[in-house]
Every structure is written in structure tokens, then in C-alpha cells.
């Protein structure tokens, strides 16, 4: 969770004015009243302020690098085994527009695989003089290399020096230009890199996360990458950085046989189009603006290099597979992690958690995992339990009972580490001491500790480039596990967030422990942390002071105007010197200056690297360290990590939640495009705070949301401190709605798990956009109010209040081509082509459809996944219009990184015969086969046969009206042997 937050309710005796005054003088408070909280200093708002900048994209004085700069010329071009190399030199006088021009560059082009082309441009002399200081080492972020020499590629690289150096990437088979910098200048400076490519009119671009934005990106939108502890607000830069996009182009076959591009608004209904998709990954971790305009895309980074990878596809699944193979295939999660998770900020004790568990059991609601937010910590310090509510011994017995019941516990771990007041002996914090002794923390440029401020007060921050940090973190997590037997890690504040500008704790440790500042409730637009934890808005005097204070604080981020230009910091390049706090090019960072609400760019890593160059990958660093730690705690088991700040490739190690959203309908609706974005970015283990985090939810919203999230891979209800309760059992209608959706989810667990297996081994997506499954239908290019779970389950949720029905599309371009079956009544529904269908959806009902052509292995719902895994199997075959269907199943122990026993089954239906073929890899399931249900059956033979033998009539139920056939009475364990067959 981030700073858009509520605060504790204890009434403080000190006025806000007192706090302000104290803040100004930075002195230790001396006054306190009897009922007041401990006399602690609260960091003033001004500590998190810095002179403002105006984002370049909105700056009327901004210089256009394209007109100012000379570009480059290529020379010395040499063919290599996998492509070519060349030298680029500045084509004229340096423009030094937002940095100092680098006069000599190396170009490398590699055909790395048949479907991946690499184009890299780096300074000839790295780190020398004016060169950009930082290329991401492959050890920090995977760097794809040449895998096949002489790879036969459908992509073709070409270049020109007219009028200056530019390159083009063409798809040979369609002669389509996918990317072209020809005619645009290449700008390569020590603090600014720009290149641009035109894109087709009304283009279909996806990705460039993390953002809360429509699934199909707008063509009037700047995507900024600068990891920020900002609530999940639309269009701003938030927690993660994924410089990858997928582009889909639709074509129509012209009479001459050629392909011509069609825009989605030109596309005619009921017509079959051909689509081609490709992907572009820019392996650059610096602060960036990616400017999307109607005529193209402009990439602007404040450092690093040009390290581009083009993926030829030509389908979305192929692009995604290639991209994920390049950056890291998604982690296979443990089976239990697909159960339902309950969390809130404000579970203050083990007995609060026990109540949550008991209530779920009492109301028959499945519950797999209870989570704690920062409440578990002693004064918000990682690895130390708050002794009253979270006593270690009481915890041991609670966790024993929890684990015995097949359930799990996941606590939050914050990224910042408390640095104690050295003058107070009782303030000692061994975790800090051990990290400090091993040189594990970030430094100031002068070598002293960099000290920011987060929940515990003044804090230091692990330096993942130091030699000691990872081992120190592993040791701390191992030690802590010995005290509290957690089951996974929730990594927070990893952007990395700090509540003050610069090393604000340097010289001020005497003020520690410091109260964490909190925001006002409802202060969600531009939250500024300012009130002590115990501040109470119901105290009218304080509240009045607070709102006037709030008014004055809003001037901290003056809205840019086209005339007022005097008050912003603008810097000009200085040769040989980088201004890391105020780079000459100001990205459109939601927090304004780079040092606000985050570690300052001049924080220094052990190898001398500045945070400026690392900021967007700090979160990836803690994911790696946590993965290593959990691998130590649970040897051989898949680490379960849900992390906030991610980078390309993080999905190989961790899952992610949507961050601090709001308890409102738009937040729920945006969770779908958020999840689809994470799908193609390789983090399938995704879900949003169900029922909403900030502000109060309500019964109707929570009812709809509990049902929607049941079809997301990561399914967690989470709530902010001080908001009304929102566990499923809070309202009778939400109990029923949750149970009804969870019944489907738990039946589908084997399917979901199999989808993750395919994600992990082959880079397939789990949650899917309609556009990906129906690539011939341009009318689905933007569809993000419904989705598919894998290829077979279509979910059309209600996303608005007061509705009793929902308009949705049952995709299928040509009338009668696709078949969809209602999950609940198992009958085929009419599929009017490309027309919104009104679907009944009273409160408590989420429309779910099974795609004709699917075979789904199902188990029975239960209160835990452990119990569900021990239940009998059903097989549901939903036939397509030709009576065919396919599907599969993957099973193993559900925990091992390298399972030594597996089982797979492949299902095929053809000509009224369902065949299951098992591949026995040593995993024994043993549960029986209960029912086989066939949907879309027109007729049956005289005798239904199982393994060639007639099934007794009493075990065969044909419903001719519904076209369903249910066969039961099998006396076998479902997946023993090498195959079984059912004929009808
Ligand atoms: C650039 O190319 C030159 C000449 O081929 C080579 O000496 C130099 O090491 C290269 N620089 C980098 C950063 O690869
Ligand atoms: C750095 O840039 C300045 C200004 O363009 C130039 O005079 C100087 O030679 C450059 N230094 C190096 C080492 O390239």
C-alpha cells in the first residue's frame, strides 16, 4: 500500500499547528498530553517537496530535439555471422539539447532467432567523457543473445544515411514496415535518447505497462516510466516498468491477392480479416516518456542505450511466447496460491486473523490464505512482530492450526529498513546492524548511509548491487521464518518509495523514532503525507487546521500553465556532468521532480552506480533477493511472491497485484485491462484488491467484485485501514455471490493450474483478451470489459452499479461458427455476430460461458484447495459446431520447482467419441472419475460405451431439449492407465 491512506483513530492531544511548527524547526517535541501518543516527531510535508519541474511534454518552452539535432551518419558497416555492425558519428554540430551529444556510437544488428531481431546502439566508449553511464548488466536484467546463427527471419533490417542515419524493420512476407526511424533524427546524449517511428493510422498498440489505462492504448497518450508509489490512477506512471508493446494490424485480401491494411473503424462487420502482430521490447530501465501520437511513437529516455528487440509473431500468442522466452517465462505458482486470499490493513492480531478464518468456515466460504499488512510489525520494522497482537508463541499455535487446516499465511515485507536512534539503547534493531555490517545499504555520494523515511521513521534501503545485500536479506528471511512460519512474501513499497526528498535522516537520527505521516481520508487525488498517525479528523479544531493546511499544500505541485513558466526548474546540459536530480529533459513523472516520494537519483550503489540509472529496476532486485530467500526457507519449493514494483522479466519470479486502487466501479472495471496488460508482460499471477482498497466499499460493489476476481489468477480481497469491513461474510448477499463464483473457480482449479503450466513452459497467456483469441475480428481490438480465462472460459461481468443485465459480445465472426454454452444451465446460447447481446445478470450472478470445442477437467469445490484436490473428477466437453473438442490437464505435487512426478492427459472429441490419453510421469492422483458431461449432443447411439463396454442405462442421462449428455457410474480412478474412451 502507498501513501493514499487513512490513519489511526486514537485522538492526539497536539494540534496540527504544533506539528507544523515542530516540523519547521526540526526540533524534538517536548510537549504531550496524558491521552496523547508518544511525543514523536512527524516528518513535515515540506520534507517531501522539491522545487517543481514542468514535464517536457507540457512545457511551452520545450525544444524539439528533431529540429535542433543533427542526427548521425553510419560508416564502417561490416557484415557479421548474425547481422552487421557499424559506426555512427554525429552528422553535424552537437545540439546538446537535453544532455551532451555523444559523438561516436556503435550499431549492432543481430538476427538472434528466426523470430527475434536485435538492434543495439551504444556509445563507442562506455562511461568515458560524455557517454551515458549505464548499460544494464545481463546479471541484473536478462539480455537476450544470438541463439541461432544464420537465422531465417521474416524480419528484415535496412538502413540509410539519407538525410541522416535511420533504420527500418520490415516484415518480408507482407512487405509491411513495422518500425522505421528513417526521416527522423536519432538523438543520443548522455541524459537523453530519442528515436521515433511512424505507426499506421488508428493503430492497435498494447502493453507499455504498468498503467491503469484502456487495454488498447490511446494514440494521444504519453506513457511515462518512473516507478512511483502512486495509487492506481489512470494514465500516470505507477509501480512497474515494462517497455514492451504488442502491435496488431488487420488486413484485407485485395482481389489481386495482396494485403491491404484496414483500420478498425474501417472494418466491415461479418467480414473475415487477416491480422499480423509483432512485438517491440526496449531494454532500457531509465526514466522514459513514450509519446503516442496519432502518427506514431516517440521513445525518449533520460539515459541508458538503445537496446531493441523485434518479435515477428505473426500471431499474438507467438509474439508473447517469444517475448517471454527472451525476458523470462512466467513462474509456475504453487497450487494453493490459486485459492482465495483475505487481507486487510487493520488485522491487528492473530486473533483477528483467527476470527477471519472462523467466519469463512462458519459461512462456508472457501479461504486459503490470510494476510497481514504492516500491522504485524513492531513499529513497522521488517522481521519484528508487534509483541501484543502478534506474540510469537501465540503465532506459533495459530499458524499450526491454520496449516493443519490446509490454510496459509502471508505477511507484508517492506522494502525500507529502519535505522535506529543510536542514542536510545532500546531502539536497537539487529536487522539494521547486520545489514550495515555487510555493507548492504545504499549510500550518499560521500559514502555515508542514504537515509530516507518510510513507515518506521528514518530508514535505509538495501543496495542489490552490493555484495552483501542479497545474502543479508536471505538470512533475515530465514531467521524470521524460524519465529513466524509464513508461507509467502508480499513485497511492498519497492519503487522504491521514500516519504522525503534526499537523505533527510542524515544528521537527524536523534529524532527517531519518527511518526509516519499519513494522508487525510478521501485525499486521493494528489495525496501528500502530512499528518501523524494518531491525528483525528473528528476533532474539529484539528480538522479545520488540516483543511487549511491542505489548501496551502496544493501549491506544492502547481498546475502547469501555458504562460507561467518562471517557477519551474529547468536545467541545461553541462559537458561531462550529469544533473541526475534535475535532468534537462523532465519526464512526465506524476510526482514531479525525480527525488520526490522516492529515493533520490543520487543515492549511490556499491559499484558507484547511481540510483538515477537503477530506479526502475530496484523492485526487480528485491524480487530476486526474495526469491532466493524463499528458496532457502522452502528448499525445492516454488517461492510465492506478490510484489509491487516489477520490470520486464519479473514474472519469472513473482506475481503482482494492481496496487492501491479505490473502492469504486471504475477501479473494478480497470482491473480487466490491468490484468490483460500483465498477461502479455509475463505476469499472469495478477489480481486487484477486490472490493477496493482506499475508501469504503459497499455491498453491491463488493458483490460484483468478489465474483469478477474469482476469474483472475490471483484472487485477494484487501482493504485500507479505517474503512468499513469488506470480508465476503460482511453481507449476506456477498456470501452467496462469493460462494457461487468460488464454486466455479474451485471446479476450474485444475484448468487454471494447467494454464499456468503452459504459461511457464511455453509462454502462453492465462487471462486473455478477445482480440487475441479472435484475431480475425477487428471489432474486438479494444474489448476490455470482458475477457477469457485461457481459451475456453468467457467472463462478461457487470461493471456498473444498479444493473440487472450486461451487454456483452459472444465472439464469433460468422454466424453459427462459434458455439458458446452458458456455464450455469449448460445450454448453447445464440451467438449473433459482432452484436452486443443483453445478458441477464442480476446481482449475485456473473455470466460465464464455455467455448464450444473445449474439454475441461473439473474437481469439486471445497473450502481449501487441499480438499478440492482430493475430490472426484468430472469432465466437461463442450462441443463445437462440428461436434469436436480438445483440452488437457497437467498435474504434479503442486509445490516443487522441479517436480519429479507429473501426469498429463490430453482430451479429444471427434465423431461422438471422447478419448483421454494419459501420459504417466509418476504422479498418482487416485481420485475417481465421477461424471462426464457432453454439451451440444444431437443424438446418441443405441448404447453409450465406456472403454468399448456398454454403460448401464441408469448411468446415462440424455436431455434432448438441452442437448446434454451426462454419463456417470465409472468405477475407475480418473487418470490411471494410459487412456479411456467414451462413445455415444
Ligand atoms: C564499439 O566498437 C569499437 C570498434 O569496433 C570497439 O572497439 C568498442 O569496444 C565498441 N564499444 C562497445 C561499447 O561495444
Ligand atoms: C563532451 O562534450 C563536450 C561538448 O560537446 C565536448 O567539448 C567534449 O569534447 C566532450 N568530451 C568527450 C570526452 O567526449
Question: What does the pLDDT look like over 237-270, one tens digit per residue?
Answer: 999 999 999 999 999 988 887 899 999 888 887 7
Residue nearest atom 2 of ligand 2, based on CA coordinates: 575
Q: Where does residue 184 fall: left (phi above 0), alpha (psi -120 to 50 degrees), or beta otherwise? A: beta
Return the pLDDT at 76: 98
What CATH code would you report for 64-198? Answer: 2.60.40.1760
Closest CA to 236 of 509, 553, 577, 597: 597
User: In which band, very low, low, confident or very high, does the pLDDT at 45 lie, cut at 50, 70 and 90?
Assistant: confident
Angle between helices 392-404 and 350-362 (to 10 degrees): 20
State mean pLDDT over 10-19: 26
Give residue 27's pLDDT band: very low, low, confident or very high (50, 70, 90): very low
What is the maximal distance between C-alpha atoms in the chain?
92
Domain with CATH 2.60.40.1180 in the chain: 804-983
Q: Would the pLDDT of 471 be above 50?
A: yes
pLDDT band at 531 (very low <50, low <70, confident <90, very high): low
Ligand 2, atom 8, lies closest to the CA of 575
Query: How far does the centroid of ligand 1 lie from the alpha carbon of residue 107, in Å?
Result: 9
Question: Using CA of residue 73, residue 78, residue 80, residue 82, what is the dihedral sign?
Answer: positive
Q: Which H/E stretch holds residue 618? A: helix 618-633
User: How far apart are alpha carbons 64 and 180 in whole angstroms?
Assistant: 19
Query: Catalytic residue at 892?
Result: no
Residue of 70, 104, 127, 130 best suited for mutating to test ligand 2, as the one with most atoms within 8 Å of CB:
130
Among candidate residues 747, 740, 687, the one with its CA nearest the CA of residue 717 = 687
- CA 340 centroid distance within chain: 18
Q: What is the DSSP string of 829-843?
A: E---TT-PEEEE--T
Question: How far apart are alpha carbons 65 and 68 in whole angstroms?
Answer: 5
Q: How far apart are CA 6 and CA 551, in angstroms?
A: 18
How sure is the predictor about 15, in pLDDT bands with cuts at 50, 70 and 90?
Answer: very low
> Ligand 1: residues whose CB is within 6 Å?
106, 122, 124, 126
Pick the catalytic residue: 189, 229, 487, 495? 495
The Å distance, Cα 893 to ligand 1 centre, comes to: 50
Over residues 760-770, the mean pLDDT reads 98
Do 661 and 693 form a contact (C-beta atoms < 8 A)? yes
Length of the chain: 984
The closest-lying atom of ligand 1 relative to the alpha carbon of residue 106 is: 1
- CB-based contact 438:431 (threshold 8 Å): no
Backbone φ and ψ of 171, nearest 5°: -90, 115
What values do phi and psi take at 707, rounded to 5?
A: -75, -40
* pLDDT on residue 533: 60
660 has catalytic annotation: yes
Look at 252-261, 668-677, 749-758, 845-854 and tell me which has the smallest mean pLDDT: 252-261
128 has pLDDT over 50: yes
The ligand that comes nearest to the alpha carbon of residue 80 is: 1
Instruction: Identify the band that residue 95 occupies on the pLDDT scale cut at 50, 70 and 90.
Output: very high
**Cis peptide bond upstream of 513, omega within 30:** yes
C-alpha cell belonging to residue 709: 476476481
In the chain, CATH 2.60.40.1760 sits at: 64-198
Residue 609 has pLDDT above 50, yes or no: yes
Q: Which of 414, 533, 542, 660 is catalytic?
A: 660
Residue position matching grid coordinates 445464440: 830
What number of CA atoms fall less than 13 Å from residue 755's CA on the CB side? 25
Give per-residue pLDDT as tens, 154-202. Answer: 999 999 999 999 999 999 999 999 999 999 999 999 999 999 999 999 9
Catalytic (active site) residue 492: yes
Ligand 2 pocket by Cβ (under 6 Å): 94, 96, 100-101, 128-130, 575-576
Confidence at residue 321, expressed as pLDDT on a 0 to 100 scale: 98
Distance CA 862, CA 867 (A): 6
Confidence check: pLDDT of 713 > 80: yes
Answer yes or no: is pLDDT of 877 > 60: yes
CA of 99 to the centre of ligand 2 (A): 11
pLDDT of 30 over the 60 cut: no
pLDDT of 710 above 50: yes
CA 253 to chain centre: 38
Quote the pLDDT of residue 832.
75
Identify which of 936, 910, 939 has the alpha carbon closest to the alpha carbon of residue 816.
936
- Give the strand order in the sheet containing 452-454: 417-418, 457-460, 452-454
Give yes or no for residue 229 having a pLDDT over 80.
yes
Distance between CA atoms of 322 and 591, rounded to whole angstroms? 34
Mean pLDDT within 57-80: 97
Nearest CA to ligand 2 atom 12: 129
Q: What are phi and psi of 741, to 5 degrees?
A: -70, -35
Average pLDDT, the chain: 91
Q: Which ligand is nearest to the CA of 105?
A: 1
Looking at residue 722, what is its pLDDT?
83
Ligand that lies nearest to the alpha carbon of residue 88, given by its number in the listed order: 1
Q: Whose CA is nearest to atom 12 of ligand 1?
A: 124
Task: Compute, in angstroms, the gap from residue 374 CA to the centroid of ligand 2.
Answer: 50
Kindly indicate the confidence band of residue 538, based on its pLDDT and cuts at 50, 70 and 90. Answer: low
**Residue 374: pLDDT over 70:** yes
Nearest-5° Cα angle at 561, 560 to 562:
130
pLDDT at residue number 7? 28
- Separation between Cα atoms, residue 240 and residue 876, nearest integer Å: 39
Q: What is the pLDDT of residue 177?
A: 98
Measured CA distances, 204 to 252, 282, 642 (Å): 16, 18, 30
Q: Are the C-beta atoms of residues 735 and 365 closer than 8 Å to each other? A: yes
Using 50, 70 and 90 to split pLDDT, how confident is the model at 132?
confident
Q: What percent of the chain has pLDDT over 90?
A: 83
φ/ψ of residue 824, rounded to 5: -75, -45
Q: What is the 3-state secondary structure (H, E, C) of 270-317?
A: CCCCEEEEEEEEECCCCCEEEEEECCEEEEEECCCCEEEEEECCCCHH
576 pLDDT higher than 70: yes
Residue pointed to by grid coordinates 544494464: 136
| Residue of 384, 492, 818, 983 marked catalytic | 492
Residue 331 contacts residue 651 (beta carbons within 8 Å): yes
> Is 221 exposed, middle or buried, given 0-12, 13-18 or 19+ CB atoms closer than 10 A?
middle
Minimum-distance ligand 2 atom for the alpha carbon of 94: 5
Give the model's pLDDT for residue 558: 37
Domain 804-983 coded CATH 3.50.30.60: no
Q: What is the DSSP string of 540-554?
A: HHHHHHHHHHHHHHG
Question: Does 556 have pLDDT greater than 50?
Answer: no
- Identify the pLDDT of residue 133: 77
What pLDDT band is residue 521 in, cutting at 50, 70 and 90?
Answer: low
- Do residues 391 and 352 lie in contact, with contact meaning Cβ atoms separated by under 8 Å? no
pLDDT bracket for residue 550 (50, 70, 90): very low
What are the Cα distances from residue 743, in Å, to 366, 416, 447, 859?
A: 9, 40, 57, 10
pLDDT surpassing 80 at residue 489: yes
Distance of CA 721 to the CA centre of its chain: 23
Report the distance separating Cα 117 and Cα 154, nearest Å.
10
The Cα-based distances of 955 to 402, 791, 938 in angstroms read 40, 31, 18
Nearest to 439 by CA among 591, 606, 322: 606
Is the C-alpha dihedral spanning 233, 235, 237, 241 positive or negative? positive
Could you tell me the pTM of the whole model? 0.94
Choose the weakest-confidence range: 510-514, 696-700, 812-816. 812-816
10 Å CB burial of residue 676 (0-12, 13-18, 19+) is buried
Model pLDDT, residue 523:
54
How far apart, in whole angstroms, are the C-alpha atoms of residue 858 and residue 932?
Answer: 10
Q: Whose C-alpha lies nearest to ligand 1, atom 9?
A: 124
Is the per-residue pLDDT at 6 higher than 50? no
- Name the phi and psi angles at 28, rounded to 5: -75, 135
Query: Of 397, 410, 254, 249, whose CA–CA distance to 319 is shortest?
Result: 249
Amino acid at each position: 500500500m502507498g501513501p493514499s491512506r487513512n490513519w489511526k483513530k486514537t485522538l492526539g492531544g497536539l494540534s496540527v499547528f504544533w506539528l507544523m511548527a515542530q516540523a519547521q524547526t526540526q526540533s524534538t517535541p517536548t510537549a504531550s498530553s496524558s491521552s496523547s501518543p508518544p511525543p514523536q516527531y512527524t516528518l513535515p510535508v515540506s520534507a517531501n517537496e522539491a522545487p517543481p519541474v514542468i514535464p517536457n511534454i507540457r512545457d511551452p518552452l520545450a525544444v524539439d530535439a528533431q529540429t535542433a539535432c543533427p542526427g548521425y551518419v553510419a560508416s564502417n558497416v561490416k557484415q557479421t555471422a548474425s547481422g552487421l555492425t557499424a559506426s555512427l558519428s554525429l552528422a553535424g554540430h552537437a545540439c546538446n539539447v537535453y544532455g551532451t551529444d555523444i559523438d561516436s556510437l556503435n550499431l549492432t544488428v543481430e538476427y538472434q532467432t528466426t523470430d527475434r531481431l536485435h538492434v543495439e546502439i551504444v556509445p563507442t566508449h562506455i562511461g568515458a567523457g560524455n557517454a551515458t553511464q549505464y548499460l544494464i548488466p545481463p546479471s541484473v536484467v536478462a539480455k537476450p543473445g544470438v541463439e541461432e546463427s544464420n537465422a531465417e527471419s521474416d524480419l528484415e533490417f535496412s538502413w540509410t544515411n539519407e538525410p541522416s542515419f535511420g533504420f527500418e524493420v520490415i516484415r518480408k512476407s507482407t512487405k509491411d514496415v513495422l518500425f522505421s526511424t528513417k526521416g527522423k533524427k536519432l538523438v543520443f546524449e548522455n541524459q537523453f535518447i530519442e528515436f521515433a517511428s511512424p505507426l499506421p493510422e488508428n493503430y492497435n498498440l498494447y502493453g507499455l505497462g504498468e498503467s491503469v489505462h484502456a487495454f488498447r492504448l490511446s494514440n494521444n497518450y504519453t506513457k511515462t516510466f518512473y516507478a512511483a508509489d502512486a495509487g492506481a490512477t489512470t494514465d500516470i506512471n505507477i509501480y512497474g516498468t515494462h517497455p514492451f508493446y504488442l502491435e496488431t494490424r488487420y488486413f484485407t485480401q485485395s482481389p489481386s491477392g495482396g494485403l491491404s491494411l484496414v483500420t478498425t473503424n474501417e472494418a466491415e462487420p461479418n467480414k473475415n480479416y487477416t491480422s499480423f502482430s509483432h512485438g517491440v521490447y526496449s531494454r532500457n530501465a531509465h526514466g522514459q516518456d513514450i509519446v503516442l501520437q496519432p502518427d506514431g511513437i516517440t521513445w525518449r529516455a533520460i539515459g541508458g542505450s538503445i537496446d531493441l528487440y523485434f518479435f515477428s509473431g505473426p500471431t499474438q500468442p507467438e509474439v508473447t511466447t517469444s517475448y517471454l522466452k527472451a525476458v523470462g517465462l512466467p513462474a509456475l505458482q504453487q497450487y494453493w496460491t490459486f485459492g482465495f486470499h483475505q487481507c486487510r490493513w487493520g488485522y491487528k492480531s492473530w486473533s483477528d486473523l483467527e476470527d477471519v478464518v472462523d467466519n469463512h468456515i462458519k459461512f462456508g466460504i472457501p479461504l486459503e490464505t490470510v494476510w497481514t499488512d504492516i500491522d504485524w510489525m513492531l513499529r513497522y520494522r521488517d522481521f519484528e512482530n508487534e509483541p501484543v497482537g502478534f506474540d510469537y508463541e501465540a503465532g506459533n499455535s495459530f499458524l499450526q492450526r491454520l496449516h493443519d487446516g490446509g490454510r496459509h499465511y502471508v505477511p507484508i515485507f517492506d522494502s525500507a529498513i529502519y535505522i535506529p536512534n543510536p542514542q536510545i539503547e532500546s531502539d536497537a534493531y539487529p536487522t539494521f546492524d547486520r545489514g550495515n555490517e555487510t555493507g548492504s545499504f545504499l549510500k550518499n555520494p560521500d559514502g555515508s548511509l542514504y537515509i530516507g523515511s518510510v513507515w518506521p521513521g528514518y530508514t535505509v534501503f538495501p543496495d542489490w548491487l552490493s555484495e552483501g545485500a542479497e545474502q543479508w536479506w536471505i538470512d533475515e528471511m530465514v531467521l524470521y521464518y524460524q519465529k513466524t512460519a509464513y508461507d509467502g512474501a508480499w513485497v511492498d513499497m519497492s519503487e522504491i518509495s521514500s516519504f522525503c526528498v534526499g537523505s533527510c535522516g542524515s544528521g537527524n537520527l536523534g529524532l527517531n523514532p519518527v511518526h509516519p505521516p499519513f494522508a487525510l481520508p478521501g485525499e486521493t487525488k494528489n495525496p501528500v503525507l502530512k499528518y501523524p498517525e494518531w491525528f483525528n479528523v473528528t476533532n474539529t479544531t484539528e480538522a479545520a487546521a488540516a483543511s487549511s493546511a491542505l489548501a496551502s499544500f496544493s501549491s506544492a505541485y502547481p498546475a502547469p500553465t501555458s504562460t507561467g513558466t518562471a517557477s519551474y526548474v529547468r536545467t541545461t546540459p553541462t559537458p561531462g556532468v550529469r544533473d541526475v536530480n534535475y535532468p534537462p529533459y523532465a519526464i512526465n513523472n506524476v510526482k514531479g521532480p525525480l527525488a520526490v516520494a522516492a529515493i533520490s537519483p543520487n543515492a549511490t550503489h556499491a559499484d558507484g552506480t547511481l540510483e538515477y540509472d537503477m530506479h526502475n529496476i530496484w523492485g526487480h532486485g528485491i524480487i530476486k533477493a526474495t526469491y532466493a530467500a524463499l528458496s532457502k526457507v522452502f528448499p525445492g519449493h516454488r517461492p510465492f511472491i506478490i510484489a509491487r514494483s516489477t520490470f520486464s522479466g519479473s514474472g519469472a519470479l513473482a506475481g503482482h497485484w494492481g496496487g492501491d486502487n479505490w473502492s469504486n466501479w471504475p477501479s473494478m472495471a480497470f482491473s480487466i485491462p490491468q490484468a490483460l496488460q500483465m498477461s502479455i508482460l509475463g505476469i499472469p499471477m495478477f489480481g486487484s484488491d477486490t472490493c477496493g482498497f482506499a475508501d469504503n466499499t459497499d455491498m453491491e460493489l463488493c458483490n460484483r467484485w468478489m465474483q469478477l476476481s474469482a476469474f483472475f489468477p490471483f484472487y485477494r480481497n484487501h482493504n485500507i485501514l479505517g474503512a468499513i469491513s469488506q470480508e465476503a461474510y460482511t453481507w449476506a448477499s456477498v456470501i452467496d455471490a462469493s460462494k457461487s463464483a468460488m464454486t466455479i473457480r474451485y471446479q476450474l482449479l485444475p484448468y487454471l493450474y494447467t494454464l499456468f503450466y503452459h504459461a511457464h513452459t511455453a509462454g502462453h497467456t492465462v487471462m486473455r483478451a478477445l482480440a487475441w483469441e479472435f484475431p480475425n475480428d477487428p471489432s474486438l481490438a479494444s474489448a476490455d470489459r470482458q475477457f477469457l480465462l485461457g481459451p475456453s472460459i468467457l467472463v462478461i461481468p457487470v461493471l456498473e452499479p444498479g444493473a440487472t443485465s450486461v451487454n456483452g459480445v459472444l465472439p464469433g465472426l460468422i454466424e453459427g461458427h462459434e458455439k458458446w454454452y452458458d456455464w450455469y444451465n449448460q445450454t448453447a446460447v445464440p451467438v449473433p455476430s459482432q452484436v452486443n447481446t443483453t445478458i441477464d445478470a442480476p446481482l449475485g450472478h456473473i455470466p460465464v460461458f464455455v467455448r464450444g470445442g473445449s474439454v475441461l477437467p473439473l474437481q469439486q469445490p471445497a473450502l481449501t484447495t487441499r480438499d478440492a484436490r482430493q475430490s472426484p473428477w468430472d469432465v466437461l466437453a463442450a462441443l463445437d459446431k462440428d461436434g469436436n473438442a480438445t483440452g488437457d490437464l497437467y498435474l504434479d505435487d503442486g509445490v516443487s520447482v522441479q517436480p519429479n512426478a507429473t501426469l498429463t492427459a490430453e482430451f479429444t472429441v471427434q465423431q461422438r467419441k471422447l478419448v483421454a490419453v494419459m501420459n504417466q510421469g509418476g504422479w498418482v492422483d487416485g481420485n475417481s472419475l465421477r461424471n462426464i458431461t457432453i454439451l451440444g449432443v444431437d443424438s446418441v447411439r443405441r448404447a453409450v460405451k465406456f472403454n468399448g463396454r456398454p454403460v448401464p442405462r441408469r448411468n446415462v442421462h440424455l436431455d434432448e431439449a438441452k442437448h446434454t449428455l451426462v454419463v456417470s457410474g465409472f468405477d475407475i480412478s480418473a487418470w490411471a492407465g494410459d487412456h479411456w474412451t467414451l462413445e455415444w
